Structure 1
Amino acid sequence: MDPKPRRRFPHGLGFLIALTLFGGGVGAAYASPPGRSLAADRVRAAVELLLAKARTAGERIPELLPEGGEAAAPPSPSPAPPSPAPAVEAPDSPLRTVVRVVDGDTLELDGKEKVRLTGINTPESVDPRRAVQWYGKEAAKRAREMVEGRRVRLEFDVERKDRYGRTLAYVHREDGLFVNLALVEEGYAFAYRYPPNVRHAERFREAERGAREGARGLWSDAAKAAEIAPKRR
């Protein structure tokens, strides 16, 4: 069995205690008043000398140390929990009315302005050059449920127009619903990087990951979703 660890004292105090207990004890044998034990005098003298030495040298009287001889470090404070991601504030722009939903990611506003929801892409449902894609009609239907006949605000990124002359925007419903994000979260749209309009790109990618892992919407058939996924992602 390993011997128990010894107490450690500040430099020089161990010698003084030994000297006090041995040498001081001899003197105490002749100087102790009757009735007081020699052992008590020795202990008292050792403690007084130890305290005096500690005060003079500015040293602290050591605590009992754990095995290994080193004092345990104080526990580190627990790290603060991460702050929740801030909500996207609706832009302070004029309210517009959605007159018609063309397809899942294209709207027509009052004044006949066509708006392409930037940062996302829904399956095709009205392109005359292509067949209706997997989940295209469902995406268009869900977009109509969300915004047709309702008032919205537009949030713009770096570029405001695409090559077809459509307005590129993030669309926020009057009640605060972020339409682009909601379509991705529910599995009706893909996250689609459209540089330089990438302000919410990471948020859309996280939403798509959640929809894919939850097999929501078009992700209910992963093979079909992979076939129609946009290339620029």
Structure 2
Amino acid sequence: MFIKRCTFQIYQQYIESQYFKQSNLMQFTAYAPQIIKTHQHITKIVDGDGFFVCDMFGNNKTEIRLLGIDAPEIKKCRKLLQDEREAHLPGQLLMELGRISMQYLASIAPIDTIVSLLIEKQNSVDLYGRTLAYAIRPDGSCLNELMINAGYAKAFGKYFCHVLPEYQRLNMIAMQEKRGHYSRVNSF
């Protein structure tokens, strides 16, 4: 039992060093108790802030909502109406921006990309039953951060995340530098 526990600890240290070494934000500021799920394959991109993953055995299919970010909607729904009111933009434009966000997410994490999920225990599931997570690519980059940094998603505080202040800072930089959607609109 001791050997198995030591082996697991060594394996966990290896995973953390490999998957999280380049994601400085995740490595140094996500202090909350966490669940780590490794070797998850992206099977379907749902929109600009969500996708489905399957474990390496193909058994457990899970819908993931990227924690701390929000991309525009791609179809008519209650949230789109709310976004129309808040951003003072027509729904058609928001849906177009949503499709662009989805395409960008698909370009940085295409189908079959292997990701590791970092889940904060205190906020693991949203109201719709989706798993809230940070998605880390094998190169160590965090999809959540990449989406905000590129201007295709914004910081989103509906579900608390420990890196929200940093995400808000990244969002402000993307706005100031007119990246992604901010090259077309001032807010979304």
Structure 1 length as normaliser, TM-score?
Answer: 0.55
Residue 67 of structure 2 corresponds to residue 118 of structure 1 = yes
Structure 1 vs Structure 2: percent identity of aligned residues?
26
Judge which range, 130-139 or 171-180, deviates more.
130-139
Which residue, out of 138, 146, 155, partners 2:118? 155
Distance between the aligned counterparts of 2:106 and 2:144, measured in 1?
A: 13
Alignment gaps of 5+ in structure 2: 1-22, 55-59, 81-90
User: Paired residue for 1:108, among 24, 30, 52?
Assistant: 52
Q: Deviations over 1:51-108 (max 9, x none)?
A: xxxxxxxxxxxxxxxxxxxxxxxxxxxxxxxxxx954339853210000110000111
Structure 1 unaligned regions, length at least 5: 1-84, 229-233
- Give the corresponding residue for 2:183: 220
SS at 1:154 equivalent: strand
Measure the CA separation in 2 of the matches of 1:124 and 1:98. 20
Mark the structure with the bigger radius of gyration. 1
Matched with 1:141 is 103
How well do the aligned residues superpose, as a CA RMSD in angstroms?
Answer: 2.3
| Corresponding residue number in structure 2 for 1:88 | 26
Question: For structure 1, which segment, 129-138 or 139-148, has the greater mean C-alpha deviation from structure 2 after superposition?
Answer: 129-138
The alignment covers a number of residue pairs equal to 140
How big is each residue's C-alpha offset from its partner over 1:94-152, in whole Å with a ceiling of 9 and x where there is no partner? 21000011000011111331000010000111345654515111100010111122000
State the structure with bigger RCO (CA 8 A, min sep 6), 1 or 2. Answer: 2
Measure, in 1, the Cα distance between the counterparts of 2:44 and 2:158: 24
Question: For the residues of structure 2 that align with 1:182 and 1:164, how far apart are their CA atoms?
Answer: 24
Would you say the 8 A contact 2:25–2:163 is kept in 1? no
Secondary structure of 1:94's match? strand
